[in-house]
Amino acid sequence: MKWLETDTENCPVRRTLDLVGEKWTLLILRDAFNGVRRYDEFRRHLGLSEAVLADRLRKLVAAGVLRAEPYRDPGSRTRYAYRLTPKGIDLWPVLLALKQWGDTHAGEPEGSVLDIRHTDCGASVRVAVRCEGDEQATLTARDVTVRPGPGARPLPPS
C-alpha cells in the first residue's frame, strides 16, 4: 500500500492537530512551559477573550495535557492553576521545533525572543531528529524513507 492509498482519518499528525493545532492552544502551551499557571496570567499575557481561553483550557484539561489544581487566595473564591501533565510535557520538543523554525524563517532581526539553554552547561538547546541505530546520526527529511505503518488502513472505495 502506498501513502496516497491510505486513509488519513487515524493519522497521528491529524489527531494531534485536532487537539493542539489551533494558534491559541499552542500559545497557552508555550506560556505553560514558561511558567504561566493562572487563568488571569494567561489572559493578560495572551490578550485573548475569556471565552476562548476558558474553552482551550477546558479542552487541554479534558485531553490530559494540563491538569487544573484548585487554589484560593485569602478573601477570594476557589480558582485553578494549570500545570502540564507528563502528556503535556511530551509536547515540549514540538514547541521547541516550532520556535527553531520561527527563529530561522520568521524571527526578529535582533535575534530570538526566547533564549533556551541547558541548565548544566549553558549551551543552546536544539531539537534534532536522530536515528535509533548504532550511529545515532542526526537526520534531515531527505535521509529517511516513509511508508505506511501497521496502523495504516486502505482508503475506502469512492
Locate the domains of the chain by residue range.
3-146
Query: CA-CA distance, 116 to 137, in Å (whole number)?
Result: 23
Asked if 67 and 83 touch (Cβ cutoff 8 Å), the reply is yes
Q: What is the pLDDT of residue 137?
A: 95
The pLDDT of 110-138, averaged and rounded, is 94
CA separation (Å) from 127 to 31, 98, 139, 146, 149?
19, 10, 11, 20, 24
Give one DSSP letter per residue of 82-129, joined into a string.
Answer: EEE-HHHHTTHHHHHHHHHHHHHHS--TT--S---B-TTT--B----E
Per-residue pLDDT tens digits for 104-113? 999 899 999 9
Q: What is the pLDDT of residue 37?
A: 98
> How much is the pTM?
0.89
Pairing of strands 138-139, 129-130: antiparallel
Q: What is the pLDDT of residue 4?
A: 85
As a whole number, the mean pLDDT across the chain is: 94
Domain 3-146 classification at class level: mainly alpha
Check whether 75 has a pLDDT greater than 90: yes
